[in-house]
Amino acid sequence: MNPIVDYLRISLIDRCNFQCQYCMPEGEELEYLRQQEVLSHEELLTLLRDVFIPCGFTRFRLTGGEPLLRSGVVELVRAIAAFPETQDIAMTTNAFLLAGMAQNLYDAGLRRINISLDSLEPETFDRIIGSRGRSRWQQVWQGIQTAYQVGFDPLKLNVVVIPGVNDHEVLNLAALSIDRQWHIRFIEFMPIGNAGLFDHKGWVDSQDLRQQIGDRWGLTEAQVRGNGPADIFQIPGAKGTLGFISQMSECFCDRCNRMRLSADGWLRPCLLNETGQLDLKTALRLGVPIDQLCDQVGDLITRKPDINYKQRETGTGNGTYARTMSQIGG
């Protein structure tokens, strides 16, 4: 039985104030979109109201790049949250700008937030994010603390585990879930954005991480609200949970319920596969009737199980992404 496709990940901007090792190719300058190439607030809201919601999408996640760099992001959150059909709106951020924006985002209707935190060691953290000069770890940590105080629930911390870089911190990161209602999600490193680093480092199997944590504290199955593919566990007696996203070792294509809308208006049904992509921005600006756009999106939803199947079987579909994770939208 195919999952209901009702979850849209929306990239608000392709720019980011970090240059994470696993996201961007080292030593390369990226070409960012010009402002006129990015969907405007009005265009994005038109697509949501008149195309995506009628096609059954009710759950939305705002991503980037770094979404907090998008001008007017609070107003955009408020507008999306105000749609009667919106059942869930969440955001993924690096939290560098979050401390000063958390309360306004919460008041606008944002309730769930995912924050990238790949290390508790400032030097390791800065090395991973490509920081040069002043350390950024403390400002990110303050953003996490502020989000928790404001009341975001669940508050999830995303950790991309890279062998020889931060894999020695797995137990310390898992321990954050014991006394706080934080939900730590360990993500297997993927060959997107920096395939050279992946070829050099490889990835750590989620099963190995679960074994390591289980040997230390024990693990039980658990649940946490969300729309993603994580397998959820909990250290006995902990306030938070541990999630494992195992896209390398445990393919979950057959469970995929999401599509991705890039900042420049391309709708894609698969993170690793460009089959079936639609250029909605150009169509909208050329005046293609809304009902035709609805038909095209509806057709892509119908074809998504076959696209997922091709990706699961071949790992490539009809072509893999040449863009970085920040350009794709995560």
pLDDT single digits (tens) 21-74: 877 766 666 788 999 999 999 999 999 999 999 999 999 999 999 999 999 999
Report the topology of domain 7-328: TIM Barrel (3.20.20)
- The model's pLDDT over 45-57, given as tens digits with 9 standing for 90+, comes to 999 999 999 999 9
- The model's pLDDT over 213-267, given as tens digits with 9 standing for 90+, comes to 999 999 999 999 887 788 999 999 999 999 998 776 677 677 788 999 999 999 9
Entry pTM = 0.91
277 has pLDDT over 50: yes
38: helix, strand or coil: coil
Going from N- to C-terminal start, the domains of the chain cover 7-328
C-alpha–C-alpha distance, residues 180 and 168, integer Å:
21
Q: Which two tokens stand for residue 132?
A: 């040069």
CA-to-CA separations, 166 to 32, 155, 217, 230, in angstroms, rounded: 29, 21, 20, 20
C-alpha–C-alpha distance, residues 226 and 314, integer Å:
28
Residue 239 DSSP symbol = S
1: helix, strand or coil: coil
C-alpha–C-alpha distance, residues 207 and 298, integer Å:
37
